[in-house]
Amino acid sequence: MRTPLLFILLIISTTVLAQSRSIIELHTGWKFKKGNFENAYQIDFNDTGWQNVTVPHDWAIYGPFDKEIDKQTVAITQNGETSATEKTGRTGSLPFIGNAWYRNTFEIPEHTENKKTLLLFEGAMSEPQVYLNGVKIGEWAYGYAYFYFDISKHLKPGKNTLAVKLSNESFSSRWYPGAGLYRKVSLITKNAQSIDQWGTFITTPLVTEKEAKVNIKTAVTGSDLKMVTSIYDKTGKRIASDSTSTLYNSKFEQNIKVNNPNLWSPENPYLYTSVSRLYVGNKLTDEVKTTFGIRSISYSSENGFQLNGKTRKFKGVCLHHDLGPLGTAVNKAALRRQMTILKDLGCDAIRSAHNMPSFEQLELADEMGFLFLAESFDEWKKPKVENGYNRFFDDYAEKDITNLVRATRNHPSIVMWSAGNEVPDQYGSEGVKRAKWLQDIFHREDPTRPVTVGMDQVKATMESGFGAILDIPGLNYRVHLYEEAYDKFPQGFILGSETASTVSSRGIYKFPVKKASMKEYPDLQSSSYDLEYCSWSNLPEDDFILQDDKPWVIGEFVWTGFDYLGEPTPYDTSWPARSSYFGMIDLAGIPKDRYYLYRSRWNTEKETLHILPHWNWEGREGEKTPVFVYTNYDRAELFVNGKSQGIQIKNDSTPQTRYRLMWNEVIYEPGTLKVIAYTQDGSVAAEKKVETAGKPYAIQLEADRKTITADGNDLSFVTVSVVDKVGNICPTATNRLNFKVTGNGEFKAVANGDPTSLEAFHKPTMKLFSGKLVVLVQSDITSGDIRLKVSGTSLKSAVLKLKSTPINY
């Protein structure tokens, strides 16, 4: 009889939940207009003719690219520059500067004095001023911050008019920040006696393989309250519960035992669900579900970083928040694709650089298994750019950190907070005081995780004590100072909070092949031989050696996983360079060669055997054309048209030969380039070949997913290549292609990964770059078939059939 009774009780609770709390995402119904509109906050303002948009929305990503946008004449001190020069692509050359308004009309269920409604913004770029029914209800400053307002007293029966003014100043960013309501906006309606917004805090202070203590603190508003909390496993089975009526300073605290816990890790991202039910007397008044993981973290001089009692090193990347051709408008399908590519890389950690991460990114990190370094600021009190966060620091820093931590602290993926990145405040006693003040706020809100800062002025932080007071000393580059920092800082370990900044353009190779700093070429590309870097940075191997040889180096976060809009170093002063060259993966999401160099170290589960360059070098016949191989095997033999070029074995003679196999004397001749990898006993382990391709003949399509959800947001990313008559990819093809989507979907965007391209992402035509590009196909709200046709002059066109399926609630 007990099982049917439990089933009935769950049904009753679910029914009551629908009456106690509702969350409405304001996704549709928005009107948008860029410009100054003095009365746009008023209810009866005439917004006829304004653009209909959905939120999340980035108004600037549609372009056009223009070198005059946010042109900055500055010396970038972080890069070691001492003289000001004109920078044209620093913020992506997209029109994000200016004011804009969003308006929406919504209705909510009957609102009484016993109800409370919150208006939640997950990100608004930037300086939002928020109006409801003609009355200003609040404002915020930081475009990356999460914030909410209690709008209960401003609501009225029937329709309510919401208006949001956003203002982006010039000289306010060092990269493309995006523009608009680029993350979700939601209405949360609940009873007045309820669980506070972000009021649940779940930690796991005791974790063993046999048992775990789950500590749950819940902040509430009301009286005569009782809290009943149940924990469910991944299958939905209730495995533990607890009830309490004891309040401490308006908080309930519960300790719940979980037997034989399934521990969360990147290899086993197991998630539990806590359901907190709040009662007034015996009546359910609120219910909140929280996903969490059971895991332990520790940092020490003896063991470095430990997850669940096991030492490991971060194999991490830094990510800016833009999604390439989508701009900054958050999209979960795009994030999932990014993180799927990173998983294949062997990456297990992400740093949100240099801003607060989206909720969607953290949800995926929990679900897919990524350790997360959640960052807050790129600027404190001292400015990097004239109109940066320095203007808001005094009034908003504490509020922004508090919201960051409270909103995200239940994510098991987050194992570290960052209070800042390369802040000019690293110098002097005032900077030390600010660092401690910020770190103390993090500790107050979350005593379970440490705090770091990405430091580039390492000498200064040694002298001032700045680095010594941090929980985790994070070094941005400065590989030559690691030993000294380890000796002088008291923590006993060093984190590579930002590493490498090697630059390359996918599929572009330059001769002669040699190491170079800040190397520039007439075509504004960087060589994919992966030997070029920046004035302040280094090659990947310099970090590999520290990670492999120094147990006190606890991992690295490579700059960057993906290319991003803005900061086109080393071409900061050159037009039309408008996006970065730092990524292992280009702006379209196509891996560069460097991806495989890292994969050969990081992905220990799968084979890596990658040859570069391509083998289409008409005009280089008879010339030296070095060949590199990135592999997790330690030896291989190279063949050109069947003729052996010898066996190379990884060795310690140089940093490069320790991690790459290189044949520097290969003479180019068209045909077949083949590599055979061997085990140490001489057995053949794997082989790979590259053919000289003929003329472009046909188009080839490959989707990351052929079935997507009919929710109007889901995306399929289709990689488009041009091949010759026998199917070899043409690596130098630059043909212009055209795209047409029919059926239950639409063309969303396209990108080719070229950091110098000025073609609009949202137009259904683009040239190939190094033989490839990526088309984004978006579902509509009706399930059914979707058809993508790609065509080009003198090429055999291709058609790909996709399917959208109903939303699975």
Structure confidence by residue, pLDDT tens digits, 637-680:
999 999 999 999 999 999 999 999 999 999 999 999 999 999 99
Residue 4 has pLDDT above 60, yes or no: no
SS (H, E, C) 554-598: EEEEEECCECCECCCCCCCCCCCCCECCCCCECCCCCECHHHHHH
d(CA 385, CA 175): 11
Concerning whether 25 is annotated as a catalytic residue, the answer is no
d(CA 391, CA 382): 9
Whether 285 and 323 share a structural domain: no
Neighbours of 246 (CB within 10 A): 11
Is 680 part of any domain? yes
- CA–chain centroid gap for 43, Å, is 37
Q: What is the mean pLDDT of residues 728-740?
A: 98
Is 307 part of any domain? no
Task: Give the total number of structural domains in the chain.
Answer: 5
d(CA 353, CA 348): 16
Q: What is the mean pLDDT of residues 521-531?
A: 98
Beta strands in 233-303 (DSSP E): 238-244, 251-259, 272-280, 283-292, 297-300
d(CA 672, CA 6): 68
Q: Give the relative orientation of helices 393-408 and 428-445 as an angle to the nearest 10 degrees.
A: 30
Whether 431 and 383 share a structural domain: yes
Residue 15 has pLDDT above 50, yes or no: no
Whether 327 and 466 share a structural domain: yes
Specify the DSSP class assigned to residue 257.
Answer: E
Under DSSP, is residue 802 helix (H, G, I), strand (E, B) or coil?
Answer: strand
Whether 214 and 347 share a structural domain: no
Whether 573 and 658 share a structural domain: no
d(CA 61, CA 587): 13
Q: What is the mean pLDDT of residues 75-86?
A: 79
| Last-in-domain residue among 582, 601, 620 | 582
**pLDDT tens readout for residues 286-316:** 999 999 999 999 999 999 999 999 999 999 9
Beta strands in 233-383 (DSSP E): 238-244, 251-259, 272-280, 283-292, 297-300, 304-307, 310-311, 314-319, 349-352, 371-375
Q: What is the mean pLDDT of residues 699-727?
A: 98
Concerning whether 127 is annotated as a catalytic residue, the answer is no
Q: Among 17-21, 54-58, 718-722, which stretch is predicted with the lowest mean pLDDT?
A: 17-21
Give residues with Cβ within 8 angstroms of 14, minimum separation 6. Answer: none
Residue 362's closest CA among 421, 404, 300, 424? Answer: 404
Whether 184 and 199 share a structural domain: no
d(CA 463, CA 550): 24
Residue 57's closest CA among 24, 15, 16, 100? Answer: 100
Residue 200's closest CA among 357, 401, 411? Answer: 411
Whether 211 and 354 share a structural domain: no
Q: What is the mean pLDDT of residues 437-459?
A: 98
- CA–chain centroid gap for 669, Å, is 42
Exposure string (b/e) for 254-270, b if CB count within 10 Å is 16 or more?
bebebeebbbbbbeebb
Predicted pLDDT of residue 6: 25
List the CATH number of the domain containing 670: 2.60.40.10
Q: Give the relative orientation of helices 359-368 and 393-408 as an angle to the nearest 10 degrees.
A: 40
| Last-in-domain residue among 159, 174, 191 | 191
Residue 443 has pLDDT above 50, yes or no: yes
Is 368 part of any domain? yes
Q: What is the mean pLDDT of residues 773-786?
A: 97
Looking at every residue in the chain, the average pLDDT score rounds to 95
Is 766 part of any domain? yes
d(CA 334, CA 308): 30
- Estimate the share of the chain in helix, then strand, then coil, as percent rounded to the nearest 5: 15, 40, 45
Return phi, psi of residue 311, to 5°. Answer: -70, 135
| pLDDT band for position 80 (cuts 50, 70, 90) | confident
Let me know: does 558 contact 316? Beta carbons within 8 Å. yes
Whether 640 and 668 share a structural domain: yes
Predicted pLDDT of residue 111: 73
pTM over cut 0.85: yes
Residue 112 has pLDDT above 80, yes or no: no
Exposure string (b/e) for 778-809, b if CB count within 10 Å is 16 or more?
bbbeebeebebebebeebeebebebbbeeeee
Is 78 part of any domain? no
Let me know: does 54 contact 27? Beta carbons within 8 Å. yes
| pLDDT band for position 1 (cuts 50, 70, 90) | very low
Is 9 part of any domain? no
Give residues with Cβ within 8 angstroms of 8, minimum separation 6. Answer: none
Residue 499's closest CA among 478, 530, 524, 483? Answer: 478
Is 616 part of any domain? yes
Pick the more confident residue, 536 or 79: 536
Task: Please give the residue range of the domain that contains residue 51.
Answer: 21-60+96-191
Whether 262 and 166 share a structural domain: no
List the CATH number of the domain containing 141: 2.60.120.260
| Last-in-domain residue among 691, 711, 736 | 691
Is 777 part of any domain? yes
Predicted pLDDT of residue 74: 83
Pick the more confident residue, 519 or 2: 519
Whether 434 and 385 share a structural domain: yes
**Residues paired with residue 733 on neighbouring β-strands, in sequence order:** none
Whether 139 and 234 share a structural domain: no
**Residues paired with residue 288 on neighbouring β-strands, in sequence order:** 276
Catalytic residue among 122, 375, 379, 498: 498
Specify the DSSP class assigned to residue 502.
Answer: B
**pLDDT tens readout for residues 338-388:** 999 999 999 999 999 999 999 999 999 999 999 999 999 999 999 999 999
Catalytic residue among 360, 422, 541, 637: 422
Residue 149 has pLDDT above 70, yes or no: yes
Whether 256 and 372 share a structural domain: no
Query: Amino acid letter at 574?
Result: S
List the CATH number of the domain containing 350: 3.20.20.80
